Amino acid sequence: MITGPGAAQLLARITPSSPDSLQNHYSTLSCLLHPETGGIVDDTIICRLDADKFYVVTNAGCREKDIGYLTSELEQWQADGQPAVNWERLDDYGLVALQGPLSSAILSEVMSNTSPQEKLETLYFGQSRYITVQAGSKEIPGILVSRGGYTGEDGFELSIPGAEASIAVAKVLLESAGPDKLHWAGLGARDSLRLEAGMCLYGHDLDDSTTPVEAALSWVVAKERRQTGGFHGAEKILAQLKPKSKGGEGVERRRVGLIVQGAPAREGAEVQDIEGKSVGKVTSGCPSPTLKQNVAMAYVKDGLHKSGTELFAVVRGKKRKAVVTKMPFVPSKYWKQTAAG
């Protein structure tokens, strides 16, 4: 939790987003940026809860790295004499991801506060609110529920205060829904789902040497920030946003989706052009349970990133045809508000 009169300004320094333009209980996907290179230190979700209060979620696998980064950035912020910022680490909180087409109905069954203003039908993708869950005779209040997730499906992420409460919430969800509707899913399931949805996994498709532009995440750079800059690595990132044909720097490589024939191309597989020249590497790959085809993400030489471009992935010494494909591979099904309301 990042709070204080300088909270939005600090987040605007270390990310390319516009935290100050977020409405209360709205969130955005963003990136923590390296102060010199503009590389991605970690991907993150920023949710504004109040005027000077932001809930920030980073990757558990990058915990120590992110703590070091934020500590350093706060120290520099204070040394620069900037407005006060407080940082509270929610060490005793649990985070439960409830994902899938039945998730709204399942969560509604265990909510104890179901007034019309609190019904999940009015909570849309990227929004959040506090709810209370009824676990037997005990009420568990103060659960921050955010509509979204990293599967491409409708779903929710529940931020729950306390380890015991987190376990109780997970149990009541499973017991209320029953095994035919809800069960545990491990990282293997998450990995195939997020890949079908065209979503990156930090440490594989993203790292400190990769900028948002190279990663096909240019959309995380807010429109107004493209004019004002002022974030880490802005000079490099803004130059990359402008193609060489228009006087910009452009990029040398781009993240793309691939459909691979034959055996699946896994992380590290070489990508070649039709002449056999090395033009990139696969960063994630697996058989798609939904499409019954092999899908992958890769970084390839700029100019070879357009849909339909034919390439090859080298799998166990054999060249497999790989066609650049628009992502997501499987259409997303987020609960979004339509123009008609």
Q: Residue 152 falls within a domain, yes or no?
A: yes
The per-residue pLDDT for 245 is 87
Do 101 and 67 lie in a common domain? no
Q: Residue 112 falls within a domain, yes or no?
A: yes
pLDDT at 136 over 90: no
Q: Residue 222 falls within a domain, yes or no?
A: no
**Domain termination site, one of 87, 102, 127:** 87
Q: Is the peptide bond before 5 cis (omega within 30 degrees of 0)?
A: no
The per-residue pLDDT for 112 is 86
Tell me how far apart the alpha carbons of residues 75 and 80 are, in angstroms, rounded to a whole number.
Answer: 9
Query: What is the residue type of 25?
Result: H
At which residue do the structure tokens 């620069």 appear? 80
The per-residue pLDDT for 118 is 67
C-alpha distances out from residue 299 to 50, 206, 256, 287, 302, Å: 39, 10, 6, 19, 9
Tell me how far apart the alpha carbons of residues 114 and 172 are, in angstroms, rounded to a whole number.
Answer: 17
Q: Residue 220 falls within a domain, yes or no?
A: no
**Region 48-57 average pLDDT:** 97
Phi, psi of 219, deg, nearest 5: -65, -15
List, for residues 201-226, the tens digit of each pLDDT value.
999 999 999 999 999 999 999 999 99
Nearest 5 degrees, angle CA 80-CA 82-CA 88?
A: 110
The chain-wide mean pLDDT, for the chain, equals 95
Number of domains forming the structure of the chain? 3
The per-residue pLDDT for 341 is 52
Do 34 and 20 lie in a common domain? yes
**Domain termination site, one of 35, 61, 87:** 87
pLDDT at 115 over 70: no
Q: Residue 42 falls within a domain, yes or no?
A: yes
Q: Kindly report the CATH number assigned to the domain that includes residue 308.
A: 2.40.30.110
What is this structure's pTM?
0.94
List, for residues 306-336, the tens digit of each pLDDT value.
999 999 999 999 999 999 999 999 999 999 9
**Region 48-64 average pLDDT:** 96
Contacts for 248 with CB less than 8 Å, ≥ 6 apart:
239, 240, 241, 242
The per-residue pLDDT for 116 is 54
**Region 113-137 average pLDDT:** 85
Backbone dihedral region of 276: left (phi > 0), alpha (psi from -120 to 50 degrees) or beta?
left
At which residue do the structure tokens 């790959």 appear? 285
Residue of 102, 177, 173 lying closest to 143 (CA atoms): 173
Q: Residue 198 falls within a domain, yes or no?
A: no
Determine contact, residues 252/259, Cβ cutoff 8 Å: no
Sheet containing 93-99, strands listed edge to edge, beginning at the edge strand earlier in sequence: 93-99, 155-161, 138-147, 128-135
The length of the chain is 341
The per-residue pLDDT for 114 is 58
Q: Residue 295 falls within a domain, yes or no?
A: yes
Q: Kindly state the percentage of the chain with pLDDT values over 70.
A: 97
Residue 339, classed as helix, strand or coil, is coil
List, for residues 138-167, the tens digit of each pLDDT value.
999 999 999 998 999 999 999 999 999 999
Instruction: Give kind and range of the element (H or E) at residue 103.
Output: helix 103-110
pLDDT at 117 over 60: no
Parent domain of 113: 93-184
Residue 20, classed as helix, strand or coil, is helix
Q: Residue 19 — pLDDT band, cuts 50, 70, 90?
A: very high
